A = this chain, B = another copy of it.
Amino acid sequence: MALPPDVEAAVGRIRAEVAALHQELVRSGLVVWTGGNVSGRVPGADLFVIKPSGVSYDDLTAADMILCDLDGTVIEGSEGGHRSPSSDTAAHAYVYRHMPHVGGVVHTHSTYAVAWAARGEEIPCVITAMADEFGGPIPVGPFAIIGDDSIGRGIVETLSGHRSRAVLMRNHGPFTIGKDAKDAVKAAVMVEDVARSVHISRQLGEPVPIPQEAIDRLFDRYQNVYGQSSDTRFEKTQD
Cα–Cα distance between A28 and B34 once the two chains are bound (Å)? 12
* A120–B128 alpha-carbon span in the complex (Å): 13
Q: Which residue in B86, B146, B208, B238 is a CB contact (below 8 Å) of A171?
A: B208
Whether A121 lies near B51 (C-beta < 8 A) is no
Q: Does A116 contact B (CB under 8 A)?
A: yes
Q: In the bound complex, what is the Cα–Cα distance between A208 and B141 (angstroms)?
A: 13
A201–B143 alpha-carbon span in the complex (Å): 16
CB proximity to B under 8 Å, residues A182-196: 186, 189-190, 193, 196
Asked whether, in the complex, the Cβ of B83 is within 8 Å of the Cβ of A228, the reply is yes
Show 26 A/B contacts (Cβ-Cβ < 8 Å), sorted by A: A32-B190, A35-B239, A36-B239, A52-B228, A53-B227, A53-B228, A53-B234, A56-B233, A59-B233, A84-B227, A87-B225, A87-B237, A109-B193, A111-B196, A114-B127, A114-B129, A115-B198, A115-B201, A115-B204, A116-B201, A119-B206, A119-B207, A121-B205, A128-B146, A171-B208, A203-B203
How many copies of this chain sit in the oligomeric assembly?
Answer: 4
User: Does A208 contact B32, Cβ atoms closer than 8 Å?
Assistant: no
Residues of A within 8 A of B (CB): 28, 31-37, 51-56, 59, 82-84, 86-88, 109, 111-112, 114-121, 126-129, 143, 145-147, 170-173, 186, 189-190, 193, 196-208, 210, 214, 217-218, 221, 225-228, 230-231, 233-239
Using known A-B contacts A114-B197, A201-B118, determine if residue A35 contacts B238 with beta carbons closer than 8 Å.
yes
B residues near A198, Cβ cutoff 8 Å: 115, 118
Query: When A32-B189, A200-B111 are in contact, do A235 and B118 touch as well, CB less than 8 Å?
Result: no
Q: How far is the CB of A52 from chain B (nearest CB, A)?
A: 7
- By a CB distance below 8 angstroms, the chain B residues around A82 are 230
